Amino acid sequence: MTHPDPKRTLSGPRPAPPTLAEQVGVKAARKLKARRRGPPGVWFGLGMMGLIGWSVAVPTLLGAALGLWLDQRYPGGRTWTLALLMAGLTLGCLNAWHWVSQEDQAMRDGLDDADA
């Protein structure tokens, strides 16, 4: 009795690579879309600053609130408050860094499309 090979797939033939005309068409469509969209305005920048601010402030405040609650339940100083405040701040900064790097990559991709 033979067992089927687990590495073998039944997906069928591979699709053909796109032709030169299809590649040019895709790049032209992206370029037209980038031109129609235009550069980001002042409101986009203000919105991004607000998003980054909230992404840092919310985890920091939640960490401080949870720390205060734990310090009230288990007396012994403000160790939970300080530890969770710092943990929330760190998490918020990582979150903001993620948003900024994502937007930077999107802007770079947009510039590459506009230059193509």
Q: What percent of the chain has pLDDT over 90?
A: 34
Q: What is the gyration radius of the CA atoms in the chain, in angstroms?
A: 25
Q: How confident is the model at residue 57 (pLDDT cuts 50, 70, 90)?
A: very high
**Predicted confidence band of residue 5 (pLDDT cuts 50, 70, 90):** low
- Whether 74 and 35 have beta carbons less than 8 Å apart is answered as no
The predicted pLDDT at position 54 comes to: 92
- Residue 19 clears pLDDT 90, i.e. is over it: no
Compute the mean pLDDT over every residue in the chain, rounded to the nearest whole number: 81
Sign of CA dihedral 91, 93, 98, 103: positive
Domain spans of the chain, in order of start: 52-111
Q: Of 9 and 97, which is predicted with more confidence?
A: 97
Three-point CA angle 97, 101, 105, nearest 5°: 175
Residue 91 pLDDT > 90: yes
pTM to 2 decimals?
Answer: 0.59
The yes-or-no verdict on residue 98 having pLDDT over 70 is yes
- What was the pLDDT predicted at 24? 82
